[in-house]
A and B are shown apart, each in its own frame.
Chain A
Amino acid sequence: EVQLVESGGGLIQPGGSLRLSCAASGFTVSANYMNWVRQAPGKGLEWVSVIYSDGNTYYADSVKGRFTISRDNSKNTLYLQMNSLRAEDTAMYYCAREVDDTLTGYYDYWGQGTLLIVST
């Protein structure tokens, strides 16, 4: 059974750093496209970052230069290192597996989310 479990969220002061984790089971993280998506309280979904199976990474403009996506193949875990945090980074953070089929793509599995609050 495919499962994604996020952890690492919490309350952090502006300017601080935090690393989120997404532990996967039932499939191999390194063989898939893996994403982070966030949702600010009461707001819509915002894509944050992707790491492809070949290791290439991409970021939303809002986090470029501050966030780093990575994976640990031995632990089958996805990470999001977040630096220089701002109040506007406050959100529920979800990891999601992306399916990249011929002529389409979609996220078939999502974690339950981990909440980050950036505040004094």
Chain B
Amino acid sequence: DIQLTQSPSFLSASVGDRVTITCRASQGISSYLAWYQQKPGKAPKLLIYAASILQSGVPSRFSGSGSGTEFTLTISSLQPEDFATYYCQQLNSYCSFGQGTKVEIK
């Protein structure tokens, strides 16, 4: 099984901050990496797929990079609506998710 480890698990930031979340895979997953945003009581929302491709309708302040075993999600300027929990997901071998990163207001 492929394990995904996100860091940090919790992040406190201010509006306007640049935020970076890392996702490390236990083995190489090529570009089979997606990022999701989840707000309380809601289903996850796709932000980025293929490690770096922005899903249609997602603001350009979100970006993704990486390949193989190390990936990052960056929010260039944090907005009030971005406070949420973020998950990475791999679909190289079945499916697994990272444990999540909760982004809260400082």
Specify the chain B residue showing the minimal Cβ separation from A110: B43
Neighbouring A residues of B46 by C-beta, 8 Å: 106-108
Whether A112 is near chain B, meaning CB under 8 Å from some CB there, is yes
Chain B window 67-106, contacts with chain A (Cβ cutoff 8 Å), 1 for yes, 0 for no: 0000000000000000000010101101111111000000
Q: Is the interface of B mostly helix, strand, loop or mixed?
A: loop
Q: Is the CB of B87 within 8 A of A104?
A: no
Q: Is the CB of A106 within 8 A of B49?
A: yes
Q: Is the interface of A mostly helix, strand, loop or mixed?
A: strand
Chain B window 26-64, contacts with chain A (Cβ cutoff 8 Å), 1 for yes, 0 for no: 000011111010100011111001110101000000000
Q: Is the CB of A107 within 8 A of B31?
A: no
Query: How many residues from A make CB contacts under 8 Å with B?
Result: 24
Q: Is the CB of A50 within 8 A of B95?
A: yes
Complex alpha-carbon distance, A44 and B32, angstroms: 20
Complex alpha-carbon distance, A81 and B96, angstroms: 21
Specify the chain B residue showing the minimal Cβ separation from A46: B97
Query: How many residues from B make CB contacts under 8 Å with A?
Result: 29
Q: Is the CB of A105 within 8 A of B91?
A: yes
Specify the chain B residue showing the minimal Cβ separation from A4: B43
In-complex Cβ contact of A45 among B42, B55, B87 (8 A): B87
Given A103-B30, A105-B32, 8 other A-B residues pairs in contact with their CB atoms under 8 A: A45-B44, A47-B95, A47-B96, A47-B97, A94-B44, A106-B89, A107-B89, A110-B44
10 closest Cβ contacts across the A-B interface?
Answer: A105-B91, A106-B49, A104-B50, A106-B34, A47-B95, A110-B43, A45-B97, A44-B100, A44-B99, A104-B31
